[in-house]
Amino acid sequence: MNEVLLVAGMALVTFLIRYPLLELVGKISLPDRLFKALRYVPPAVLAAIIVPSVIMPKGEIALSPANPFLVAGIVSALVAWRSKNLLLTVVIGMITLLAYRAIFNV
């Protein structure tokens, strides 16, 4: 029962913090520059999550071909750049990672 109250309390606090701002933004017209800048937030957040795990898989910087995450990340970046297809990028990246690990026993 305590877990339910904890989750409900966190949901309530999150709602109370965010709702007034969202309500205010709905009534005020914001400049187009702000909306153009906000388009870069998802890629920036995604990069901030992924890049450290690709470059430092064991807590240390590993910029060598012995790092299978780096190799798969580079291949995935190239596939994404050329195809602009998210599903294809993820599938090719996973295949690259698994194949690289299997071939080189890394």
Q: Mean of the per-residue pLDDT values for the chain?
A: 93
Give the three-class secondary structure for 32.
Answer: helix
The proportion of the chain whose per-residue pLDDT surpasses 70, expressed as a percent, equals 100
Say what the pLDDT of residue 65 is: 93
What's the whole-number mean pLDDT along residues 35-50?
Answer: 93
What's the whole-number mean pLDDT along residues 81-86?
Answer: 96
Say what the pLDDT of residue 3 is: 92
- Rounded to two decimals, the pTM is 0.68
Q: In 3D, which of 101, 33, 32, 92 has the Cα closest to residue 66?
A: 101
